[in-house]
Amino acid sequence: METAITTIVVAFITAVLGPSILEWVKAKVNKKPSPESSVKEAIDVNELIDSQLEQLMDELGCDRIWIGQFHNGGHFYPTGKSIQKFSIFYEKLTPDTNTIQHVFQQIPVSLFPKALSKLYKDGELAITNYKTDDTYDLGIFAKDYGTKSFYMIAVDDLDGHFIGVMGIAYNEKEHKLSKEEWIFIRQKVGAIGSLLTDYLYKKK
């Protein structure tokens, strides 16, 4: 008898309060962050990525290092399919090196098919010497910016999806990366990929 009464009471409370509790939980789950909290989150992740790039600059002694990310940019006519592009979002430079970030914005991935295909398949590419190595359609960096050695590394998210590119340039002189430098770069690229995964895929 006591069990039956308890069951009735629980059912009554659930029936009366259940919808209110459910709405409260849904409101908490679906609550959108304020514009200020979104800006703070962006500032925090940008600062962390900038710190990783600064450590790379110090360790590698390079002249320029940058991170480009893939994104949609317009649509094809008449299908409406998204046009895949990339833009440089992060860049670190030596004092005597000119920025290229403003140049590489909204760039169609179709302009660099060899380089991006190489990165998609192998994760890395190296141009130690622009005169003797395969340049993967990246001659613009030597011609327009005086780059002597250039390296690109794929930035993947935690599920292994190709979401961006790291570029490392030596302008003053050629530089062949050592085994230890490659290991250090891969560690930092992994850390940056993790930061971007958390930021880009976090539910709003």
Going by the DSSP 8-state scheme, the letter that residue 148 receives in this structure is S
Residue 22: pLDDT band with limits 50, 70, 90:
very low
Largest CA distance in the chain: 91
Distances in Å between the Cα of 42 and the Cα atoms of 46, 53, 131 are 6, 16, 41
Q: What is the mean pLDDT of the chain?
A: 85
Compute the distance between CA of residue 170 and CA of residue 162 in angstroms, rounded to an integer. 25
Coil, helix or strand at residue 45: helix
* Sheet architecture: strand order including 124-127: 107-108, 82-93, 64-75, 162-170, 149-156, 124-127
For residue 135, give the nearest of 121, 158, 152 by alpha carbon: 152
CA distance 158 to 36: 27
DSSP 76-130: -TTT-PEEEEEEEEEEEE-TTS---TTTSSSEEGGG-HHHHHHHHHHSEEEES-T
Confidence of residue 202 (pLDDT cuts 50, 70, 90): confident
CA distance 67 to 200: 15
| Buried b or exposed e, range 36-71, using 16+ CB within 10 angstroms | eeeeeeeeebeeebeebbeebbeebebbbbbbbbbe
Q: Angle, nearest 10°, between helix axes 179-201 and 35-60?
A: 180
- Report which secondary-structure segment, H or E, holds 144: helix 139-145
The confidence band for 13, taking pLDDT boundaries of 50, 70 and 90, is very low
pLDDT per position as a tens digit, 72-94: 877 877 787 888 999 999 999 99
pLDDT of residue 41: 87
Q: Which DSSP letter does residue 32 get?
A: P
Which one-letter amino acid corresponds to residue 129? Answer: N
What pTM, to 2 d.p., does this model score?
Answer: 0.79
Q: Measured between alpha carbons, how far is 127 from 130 in angstroms, rounded to an integer?
A: 6
Q: What is the pLDDT of residues 144-194, one digit of tens each?
A: 999 999 999 999 999 999 999 999 999 999 999 999 999 999 999 999 999
